[in-house]
Amino acid sequence: MSSIFTHQYWPFWAVTLTLALFVPVRHLIWILYVRRARNSGGGDAADQVRLKKRAGFTAALICLVFSYFYVSYLFRDAL
């Protein structure tokens, strides 16, 4: 079981961390988008669906980049 914590499995850990962070980060970004839209006079239901898709794309990019750098830093001494 301890072999899964070696350097050769770092892509697995990067993907796992990305998936674990995706939903909360997407929700946080979506809330920020909706609040900004409501303050500027928008924020109807169709606009919220569009903002949810936009938040999902942004969250996926942020989580993937963060996970890649974090896991590569975590396993840097294992080389």
Q: What is the pLDDT of residues 39-50, one digit of tens each?
A: 988 778 889 999
**Does the structure show a pLDDT above 60 at 30?**
yes
Note the pLDDT of residue 78. 57
pLDDT in tens, 2-18: 788 888 899 999 999 99
The per-residue DSSP string of 15-67 comes to HHHHHHHHHHHHHHHHHHHHHHHHHTT---HHHHHHHHHHHHHHHHHHHHHHH
Note the pLDDT of residue 43. 73
